[in-house]
Structure 1
Amino acid sequence: MEFSEFVEHAAAIEAEPADLETVDLVAALLADAGGDLEAVTRFVQGRVFPAWSERKLDVGPAAVYEALAQAAGPNVTAGDVEDRLADVGEIGAVAASYDLDSQRGLAAFTGDESEDDALSLADVVDELDAVAETEGSGSDKETVRRLFGLFNRCSSEEAKYLARLVLGEMRIGVGEGAVRDGIAAAFGVPAERVERALQVSNDYGLVARTARDAGEAGLDGIHLEIGRPVQAMLAQAGTVTDALDAWEEAAVETKYDGARVQLHYDGEDVQIFSRNMEEVTHALPEVVEFAEAELPVPAILDGEVVAVDADGNPRAFQHVLRRFRRKHDVAKAREDVPVELRAFDCLHAWGDDRLDDPLVDRHDALDALLGHTNAVSDLSVSGDVEEIEAFEAESLDAGHEGIMLKNPRSHYSPGKRGQNWLKRKPDVETLDLVVTGAEWGEGRRAELLGTFLLSARTEDGFETIGKVATGITDEELAELTDVLEPHVRHEEGQTVDIEPAVVFEVGYEEIQQSPTYSSGYALRFPRFVTVREDKTPATADSLERVERLVAND
């Protein structure tokens, strides 16, 4: 395919405002692509290489400005290009504004170029491949030289799309869905088969060629490949109520404060990819060593890498970032910030893709692989709110972010953000409630008050509405114990009766009717926010306000 043919198609697609017609135009482009189909499928999305590939063009704007200026003529500088960009606002329009057609004619007239030396799409692929391979001393000049060579063979319209492609700014209104549907329409295969093949390969060019050459059977034969990362399944915000209403039972997991990774092990070597599918193997040698030593068979795992202290307790996400960004002196970084794997899903093992297995079965596979280590995330399936509350409290107490809620029967859908994985929403409402009781802690917290009974104000006194024990650090517990001890009226075992004097601001997920507390209501997933030193029990929230919140929910 000549590059000019691709540009004609791209211009038509860009000019079409309707989605359905855009898909038809994409399908026509793919059908006309011939041997350039894989590259065309990427180019129309503004990609030079497959999404999973480590190869990057990594060309900065300055190189494009310089190459374009050289192609535009001897009186044009890179500064002129940049100034025009400031006025026009878009690099494609800037490239199209130069009379490159006359420069091509001049080059041919002076013997520098043949008039019929049309730029092919394969030429563009080859030159951009060479640019991606350019490195070391003199690489900037070599990049400009190769880009100039391309622009020098472009018409003004071709330069428009070449400049956009090089800078990753194609902007013709073609997303992944349009290409998926375009492949289906161009080669007469079901869109759901295309979608599935895309999920397991993350390679639109491969899927397009397979659909054309081998049809449905070929698409069904595309599987996960160790060493070729796929997009991670994503979660959306939700509540415990959302989860239990939808599934009756929820698989509850710890939500780690770490960095998402996808680990690939082929039986000998390990590769680790970030959430953005960038290889980070070199930065995480202890995870590589762990996987090589402990994994019994080739596998692809989804999980997180968490930073830990000397006692194995989790450290904040910022520490993990320090490891991911380190390219040199990794040994020193490893000593300063040790990390560990926490795997929570199994995508492939024992020679089989496991994406279509239910979540609980995938976790069983994970246990079979690594259950003898501490690298497998805890998972509990429950339909009981109080059990889920206890799981969250344990996760928070251990220093983690909280919990994930997952459909126990859900499949793994790469790149999808749906209703099957929920991040428990942060508290969006708070109440100012009076502390009327407490319980002494256990273990290292035995000398601290650790669970606090909360009450809402009424005309006659206070009515209990729940207990809070999460969201409080050891340092805060010590301070709260000092504040509340002078107000202790009676103790019996671990239970303490406290005079109404101190007001807590407490976040919560929802309020439910409950016979457990004297108010008739219970806070679900209460979380300590702060002490309201500016409030007294007389100005704390009333039971009437609680009832209004319930009525308006």
Structure 2
Amino acid sequence: MYTFAQLYATLDETTRTSVKIEALTRYFERSEPADAAWAIFFLIGRRVRQAVPLPTLRAWAVEAAGIPDWLFGECYDAVGDFAETVTLLLPEPDEWTVDVDRSVLPFEGPQPLHRWVEEVLLPLRDQDETMQRAIVQAVWATLGGTERFVWNKLITGAFRVGVSQQLVVRALARVSGVDSSTIAHRLMGEWTPAETFYRTLLARDTTDADVSRPYPFCLAHPLDADPETLGPIDEWQAEWKWDGIRSQLIRRAGRTFLWSRGEELITDRFPEIAAIGALLPDGVVIDGEVLPWKDGAVLPFAQLQRRIGRKNLTKAILDDAPAALLAYDLLELNGIDVRNQPLERRRAELERLIATCVPGNQALLISPVVVAADWDDLAAQWATSRERNVEGLMLKRRSSPYRVGRVRGDWWKWKVAPYTIDAVLIYAQRGSGKRASLYTDYTFAVWDGDRLTPFAKAYSGLTDEEIRQVDAFVRRNTLEKFGPVRTVTPELVFELAFEGIQRSNRHKSGIAVRFPRILRWRRDKRPTDANTLEQVRAMLPEES
């Protein structure tokens, strides 16, 4: 546990990629396999189910620290991170005065990470509240400093550190000598952190892939220049950029699996796609986009969210919001990895496969190629993206292999300009982590008659200096406090950007937007210059 905590501290203290990879490499070289497996699990963003609710943990921390609850609240407000607040308030183990029963722990003294997880954290959810309290306070009285902080992160399900899965993969490839694409493949899908898994992960024999496991996704870079700079148009394949769930449809060993890019198995969410997948031959993996699709056209993304958010899919939902997988790449055929073949060959095989195995179906379709005589012709079609309910175009080099991750040069996303509005800052609260002492999370409003109605939340887009200036404004102009939220004088105007817009009964404005962020601080505008709710509603697609 100590070694893992030190790794966390090192990763959290640096922004240099080389330092992070070196720290990860040292850790994996020196750690026992069971510890390394759990470290990978947490570092790449996976988590165990939270065993104890935060309000309960708060009550136990208040009791152990011997402070009133209001003081915990003030400290939490200042720190901005629950796990860090608890860590700072509790005394170190050698200063512990509250009576605790350390015998409830299954061991004494320093222990490796996997024992803390497997023998304390995981069994915790099956205990009654009395025993949970005894165990949690015993852990707090045993662990100190960074170890306690990491434990608090794990128990609250809030473990995050500044390292990507790609960096973990690169470190593991360095340790094992196995190429990074194989390591990335083995980390996809479902697996249990254990010594056996870690040894398999680093094994040089690469024939051990699980029948359900997807391939790492190939990702595109935003196009940051005129498309004509890419060269002759006949070297490129253009497709619409769909707004759905990037997924892989897998048919192996007589079974069908649908995996999202977020590594979630979503087969049961889309039974119509699973049924079509069952008609494919074994040894096939298709990359595509799950979309709400009806009568030959894509529906607003909100229709797909109706499917995702339900435990039980009724016939009415399936009828109102049918889904389809628009396929645009073939990764495996007849059980053979074809990712290194050129795109144009993979595309031809994909078209033949769908036409032969599932002709005329409405749940597995080919994403159409956008044919253009030249770049000007393609630009004219790109300009119609909003009308088609797509985000723009994808440009893919016809000779390109299917790579792992975001590799510059072969795949580009040519997105249309986002929606933009001017809105007024009305609420603010502190951020988390390194921004816990600054007001960086903002709520913006637009005019509904003579009232400002909350419209969107955003926290990215300002420079560090602008954040400090807004923070100072919030502190000087707070009107009311609601827990961590501050109501501020409605004076500051910002230009917001967002990718999608839809109706929503869950928002006061009646509208929800996708991926809102701050474009710029409009110091040249007054609050009365902000957009109206009526103007925002005019942006809604007709299908909404």
What TM-score, normalized by structure 1, do the two folds share?
Answer: 0.61
Query: Within the alignment, does 1:316 sit opposite 2:300 as a pair?
Result: yes
Provide the residue aligned with 2:367 in structure 1.
377
| Counterpart residue identity of residue 361, structure 1 | R
Root mean square deviation, CA, Å:
4.4
Provide the residue aligned with 1:261 in structure 2.
247
User: After superposition, where does 1:134-149 map in structure 2 within 5 Å?
Assistant: 134=125, 147-148=136-137
| Counterpart residue identity of residue 307, structure 2 | R
Provide the residue aligned with 1:331 in structure 2.
315
CA contact (8 A) 1:243 1:405 kept: no
Provide the residue aligned with 2:143 in structure 1.
154
CA contact (8 A) 1:358 1:409 kept: yes
Provide the residue aligned with 1:85 in structure 2.
76
| Counterpart residue identity of residue 87, structure 1 | A
Q: 1:257: Cα distance to partner?
A: 4.1
CA distance in 2, matches of 1:280, 1:185: 33
In structure 2, the CA distance between the partners of 1:152 and 1:367, relative to structure 1 (3 Å rule), is: farther
Provide the residue aligned with 1:362 in structure 2.
346
| Match 2:406 to one of 398, 407, 416 | 416
User: After superposition, where does 1:103-118 map in structure 2 within 5 Å?
Assistant: 116-118=108-110
CA distance in 1, matches of 2:281, 2:204: 30
Provide the residue aligned with 1:165 in structure 2.
154
CA contact (8 A) 2:5 2:150 kept: yes
In structure 2, the CA distance between the partners of 1:384 and 1:208, relative to structure 1 (3 Å rule), is: farther
Report the secondary structure of 1:200's partner residue.
Answer: helix
CA distance in 1, matches of 2:228, 2:375: 12
Which structure would you say has the larger Rg? 1
The gaps in structure 1 that reach 5 residues or longer are 50-54, 429-529, 531-553
Provide the residue aligned with 2:212 in structure 1.
227
Query: Within the alignment, does 1:65 sit opposite 2:81 as a pair?
Result: no
Query: Within the alignment, does 1:252 sit opposite 2:255 as a pair?
Result: no
User: After superposition, where does 1:201-216 map in structure 2 within 5 Å?
Assistant: 201-202=186-187
CA contact (8 A) 1:226 1:299 kept: no
CA distance in 2, matches of 1:76, 1:96: 14
CA distance in 1, matches of 2:183, 2:412: 24
Q: Identical aligned pairs, as a percentage?
A: 20
CA distance in 1, matches of 2:102, 2:399: 70
Q: 1:377: Cα distance to partner?
A: 2.0
Bigger Cα displacement from structure 2, 359-368 vs 229-238: 229-238
CA contact (8 A) 1:224 1:353 kept: no
CA distance in 2, matches of 1:210, 1:381: 50
Provide the residue aligned with 2:3 in structure 1.
5
| Counterpart residue identity of residue 254, structure 1 | W
What TM-score, normalized by structure 2, do the two folds share?
Answer: 0.62
| Counterpart residue identity of residue 336, structure 2 | D
CA distance in 2, matches of 1:31, 1:208: 16
CA contact (8 A) 1:200 1:222 kept: no
**Deviation per CA, 1:158-215, whole angstroms, max 9, x where unpaired?**
211111234455565444454344335545x3xxx54212332235999998999689
Query: Within the alignment, does 1:122 sit opposite 2:114 as a pair?
Result: yes
CA contact (8 A) 1:240 1:385 kept: no
| Counterpart residue identity of residue 395, structure 2 | L
CA distance in 2, matches of 1:140, 1:233: 46
Q: 1:333: Cα distance to partner?
A: 0.6
Report the secondary structure of 2:250's partner residue.
Answer: strand
CA distance in 1, matches of 2:42, 2:311: 33
| Counterpart residue identity of residue 91, structure 2 | D
CA contact (8 A) 2:218 2:402 kept: yes
CA contact (8 A) 1:346 1:366 kept: yes
In structure 2, the CA distance between the partners of 1:313 and 1:183, relative to structure 1 (3 Å rule), is: closer
CA distance in 2, matches of 1:333, 1:377: 24
In structure 2, the CA distance between the partners of 1:108 and 1:295, relative to structure 1 (3 Å rule), is: same
User: After superposition, where does 1:523-542 map in structure 2 within 5 Å?
Assistant: none
User: After superposition, where does 1:426-505 map in structure 2 within 5 Å?
Assistant: 426=416
CA distance in 2, matches of 1:110, 1:180: 38
Provide the residue aligned with 2:508 in structure 1.
none
CA distance in 2, matches of 1:100, 1:274: 43
Q: 1:321: Cα distance to partner?
A: 2.0
| Counterpart residue identity of residue 195, structure 1 | S
Provide the residue aligned with 1:182 in structure 2.
171
Report the secondary structure of 1:357's partner residue.
Answer: coil
CA distance in 1, matches of 2:318, 2:6: 52
Query: Within the alignment, does 1:277 sit opposite 2:268 as a pair?
Result: no
CA distance in 1, matches of 2:134, 2:344: 55
CA distance in 2, matches of 1:142, 1:246: 69
Query: Within the alignment, does 1:303 sit opposite 2:293 as a pair?
Result: no
Provide the residue aligned with 2:522 in structure 1.
none
Total equivalences in the alignment: 411
In structure 2, the CA distance between the partners of 1:313 and 1:250, relative to structure 1 (3 Å rule), is: same
Report the secondary structure of 2:297's partner residue.
Answer: coil
Report the secondary structure of 2:288's partner residue.
Answer: strand
CA distance in 1, matches of 2:100, 2:280: 62
CA distance in 2, matches of 1:160, 1:112: 20
